[in-house]
Amino acid sequence: MRRPWRDFLDKLAPLRPDLHKYCCRLSGNVWDGEDLVQDTLLRVFAQLGRLDANLESPRGYLMRTATHLWIDRVRRRERERALPIEEAAALPS
């Protein structure tokens, strides 16, 4: 597993700075941006392993994957915030 992972990272190394900038802009800070970069690389690596595909536009695929992951995070965070409010409203007074 290490060899394919290292090959994958070497292949995408030139795209990482752009991906990092994009993820930092999406998330609004460096720490969440770096987490998003790592999650994106893992997701793309897993997808490529399942599909055994060669990407025609790796930059576009990385950016789109990062965008989808960020949207999922924001939605999850909103659901988690709403849950205690809904639970409190369901309690008998």
Q: Which of 2, 28, 12 is nearest to 65 (CA)?
A: 12
Residue 29 confidence (pLDDT): 95
Instruction: Report CA dihedral (7, 4, 53, 21) to the nearest 10 degrees.
Output: -50
Range of weakest confidence among 31-40, 52-61, 70-79, 83-92: 83-92
Residue 15 confidence (pLDDT): 94
Read off the pTM: 0.79
Is residue 84 predicted with pLDDT exceeding 80?
no
7-61 residue pLDDT tens: 888 888 899 999 999 999 999 999 999 999 999 999 998 888 776 667 778 899 9
Cα–Cα distance between 23 and 41 in angstroms, integer?
12
First to last CA, the chain: 56
Q: Does residue 62 contact residue 15 with C-beta atoms inside 8 Å? A: yes
Is residue 77 predicted with pLDDT exceeding 70?
yes
